[in-house]
Amino acid sequence: MMASTIFRSIQNHPLLLYQTALFRRKNGVFYCTMKSTEAQTATQEKQKPPLPKIMKQTKTSDKFSKDYEAVIGIETHVQLNTLTKAFCGCPYNYGSPPNTSVCPICMGLPGALPVLNSKVIELAVKVGLALNSKLSLNSKFDRKQYFYPDLPKGYQISQFDVPIASGGYIDLDLPVEFGGGHRRFGITRVHMEEDAGKLLHSENGSYSQVDLNRAGVPLLEIVSEPDMRTGIEAAEYAAELQRLVRYLGVSNGNMQEGSLRCDVNVSVRPIGQAQFGTKVEIKNLNSFSSVSRAIDFEISRQVLLHSQGQGDQITQETRLWEEGAQKTVTMRKKEGLADYRYFPEPDLPGVILTKEYVNSILDSLPELPEVKRRRYEKMGLSMQDVLFLANDVNVAEFFDATIAKGADVKLAANWIMGDIAAYMKNEKLTINEIKLIPQELAELIASIKGGTISGKIGKEILFELLAKGGTVKGLIKEKDLVQIVDPVEIEKIVDKVLSENPKQLEQYRGGKTKLQGYFAGQVMKLSKGKANPGLLNKILLEKLNAQS
């Protein structure tokens, strides 16, 4: 195997890589790799019980926080889900054994040259358009130069002064439980670049090994304007980006796998001050909740320093979020501005987009989250429902397909958010993995609404459909579940129940009217649940109250 012969760890010559050395990398944090396949969203995360507040300073600074304002900007790296890497033919699969998806190009061997995977451009244009950005019809690649063992060429192919897209904005709705509200955050730029490999450190820290599987995987770096003011806003911005890339199908947006990574910049200033405070960068944010909590911690820390007259202690630095301790700690101080010696990448021709190409991509864009939410809102759904349904593109598509089959909007939403969501959660399935199809959900809703089956039977059928599939009509027929709507037939059953329970009837008529429920239950039981509840109750009452 090429990997085993060419790949070489630093093992032969033990290297003491101290923690500080590990994080000396200049363009991103070293991401540890927790294995998790569970997709998550900011909204879902927030339903977890809140972590205990262990920062004393929060309380102290709370009383000052009204005098200060935080300014937050985010740099997000999104891994594009192209079949092959950005500049070579290697596939990328998260979690593959080290150095099994490498070639001379992504290993930076002498003489190897990059050739751009045109799919990267297509996905970048999609994201640029979806972020309402202005596309550069003539952009180029540049080399960003620094040394680190996970960077095989000693430079990263990136875009410097002419990004593929610049300007733009993203719209989002804050969750109702956080007070709700619509926000629009500015986007500074979107550019294409390649990912670096990963360092694997030995347990005792005496040596490190390089895994280049990830080297050369295409990334989009999306830089926001410093428009956010709270941890929640920042987390929701990141969640909306995740939603957007998933809607567009350009990335799986998975934070645990590092497919979506956020570095945030936080500064604090007295309210009313136009000038920004000293900004601090925070790295190692592996979930939306850590984005939110890290920022809130950092704001508190900075506000406290300001309020104690120690604002000058806030220095331009990179801080690391420690998930265990729930705090940020200094990773490295900025020693002046890093000089990456950018210059145009001579191995790659310029990136030229034609208007026709851009328009063809524009025409192919799917309905985006913001548009979907506004449409759902107009359909009369509550914001809670809107946010739930539009959160996951697959759920939204399921919902859309269901109502396209004529289902009642509110009922469809209730079924999806209620029993279907609960089932998915219990069984750990996505909506694409359940056996129920939108057409049958629409059929189910119509059958209940039309009185063919009762709501109770409907639920039974639903779980059958979720687990095994099939059609509503087929199940009704197979199990003989059609609702009894013939008053004569119901009357017969009622009569039977009354005649079989003379004692209870006597009690009822003696004034114990609560027994109505008992009789209704008995009738329903005898009808195997098929009696139309309205008719049943009407006839039962008539009979119960009839003068004997």
Strand partners, 158: 142
Residue placing its CB nearer to Zn ion in the complex, 6 or 103: 103
**Least distance (Å) from Zn ion to the CB of residue 426?**
42
> Does 153 engage in binding with another protein (CB under 8 A)?
yes
Q: Using the rule CB under 8 A, is 143 a contact of another protein? A: yes
Listed in sequence order, the residues at least 6 apart from 314 whose beta carbon sits closer than 8 Å to its beta carbon are 267, 268, 277, 278, 280, 302, 305, 306
Interaction partner, residue 112 (another protein, Zn ion, none; CB < 5-8 Å by kind): another protein
For residue 295, give the nearest of 238, 221, 217 by alpha carbon.
Answer: 238
Q: Is 90 in the site for Zn ion (CB under 5 A)?
A: yes
Binding another protein (rule: CB under 8 A), the pick from 29, 90, 190, 210 is 210
* Per CB under 8 A, 23 contacts another protein: no
In whole angstroms, what is the distance from residue 358 CA to residue 123 CA? 11
User: Is residue 468 within the footprint of another protein (CB under 8 A)?
Assistant: no
CB-wise, 156 or 483, nearer to another protein? Answer: 156
Does residue 88 bind Zn ion (CB under 5 A)?
Answer: yes
Query: x/- contact string, 104-123, with Zn ion (CB under 5 A)?
Result: -xx-----------------
Residue 110 tokens, joined? 């002498």
- What does the angle CA 418 – CA 421 – CA 425 come to, to the nearest 5 degrees? 135
| Nearer CB in complex with another protein: 115/352 | 115
Among residues 232, 229, 233, 251, the alpha carbon closest in space to that of 242 is found at 251
Residue nearer to Zn ion on the CB measure, 109 or 526 = 109
Closest CB 218 distance from another protein, rounded Å: 15
Give whichever of 338 and 404 is closer to another protein, judged by the CB atom. 338
Residue 11 in contact with residue 207, Cβ under 8 Å? yes
Q: Which secondary-structure segment (H or E) carries 422? A: helix 421-427
The pair of structure tokens assigned to 455 is 């709501």
Residue 349 interacts, among another protein, Zn ion, none and using kind-specific CB cut-offs from 5 to 8 Å, with another protein
Q: How far is the CB of 338 from another protein (least distance, A)?
A: 9
**Residue 108 CB, nearest distance to another protein (Å)?**
5
Q: Which helix H or strand E contains 199, and what residues bound it?
A: strand 198-201
C-alpha distances (whole Å) from 163 to each of 46, 167, 263 are: 34, 10, 19
Options 155, 247, 415, 508; binder of another protein; rule CB under 8 A: 155
Residues 302 and 279: their CA atoms lie apart, in Å, by 10
Site residues for another protein, window 107-126 (CB under 8 A)? Answer: 107-116
Residue among 140, 143, 87, 93 nearest 118 (CA): 87
Q: Read off the tokens for 369.
A: 């989250």
Q: Which residues bind Zn ion (CB under 5 A)?
A: 88, 90, 103, 105-106
Q: Which residues bind another protein (CB under 8 A)?
A: 2, 5-8, 10, 12-17, 21, 24, 104, 107-116, 143, 145, 147, 149, 152-155, 210, 337, 339, 341-343, 346-349
